[in-house]
Amino acid sequence: MNPSPLPPKLGYQEFLVAQSLKFQFKVHHSHLAARGIYLDLQMCPSLQGPTGIDRLAQAWPEGWSLTDLEFLWTPSQIACAAWWIVDKPIIEIWLKLKSHRLLTKNDSTPSSSLTLNPPIDHLNSLSQILNDTKLKPINKDRVTAKSGKDPNSNLFRIMKAQIENDSIVKHHQKYPVGTHHDPFS
């Protein structure tokens, strides 16, 4: 008797998936990366002024986690795009500081290959997608109302058609079509 509730083949497939993930099941969310960028912005000496996380909190829609964005882009890309939406000039300066730091560490890379145009183009496209995925306000009256009683809902129409169909069937059972007992048929 097998003590495992799963069939052996299914358990083996799940083991392969877990093994391919190297048994690391932690999901790194983009809000953690956004906080890291915030801390990094505080450490940059040339970025003095309001780099508030309050503005990021206002611009950070909760709908992003309900989409497949986190499967398509890394958390740091999503976080950088969120900061890009909030304050483009500060993030441009921050990106220039990061690229300058990379240039000073790696002298073998030509400076022409480290331009900011590709990341900025990428941030523009990703920030546009993030803006499009913002949640729209929910009409709570419509959500909490019983859809079976709303005459504009499909459920109401289906229920009404079912009631009419049942009444016709009941009527034909009571008064068969061939008989002349019913003046209305």
- Where do the structural domains in the chain lie, given as residue ranges? 24-132, 140-174
Look at 119 and 146; give whichever has higher pLDDT. 119
Q: What is the pLDDT of residue 112?
A: 52
Strand segments (E) across the chain: none
Calculate mean pLDDT across residues 118-147: 73
On the question of pLDDT at 169 being above 80, the answer is: yes
Dihedrals phi, psi of 126, to nearest 5 degrees: -70, -40
Percent of the chain scoring above 70 in pLDDT: 62
Question: Do the beta carbons of residue 5 and residue 34 sit within 8 Å?
Answer: no
AA identity, residue 179? T
Q: Where are the alpha helices (DSSP H) in 106-144?
A: 117-132, 140-144
Residue 165 CB neighbours (<10 A): 10
pLDDT 10s digits, 77-107 = 888 888 888 888 888 888 888 877 776 765 5
CA distance 129 to 67: 11
Distances (CA, A) of 21 to 28, 73, 97, 118: 14, 18, 34, 30
Token pair in block for residue 21: 């993930």
pLDDT digits (tens, 9 = 90+) for 25-34: 766 778 888 8
CATH of domain 24-132: 1.10.472
pLDDT, tens digit (0-9, with 9 covering 90-100), for 62-78: 656 666 777 788 888 88
Three-state secondary structure call for residue 75:
helix
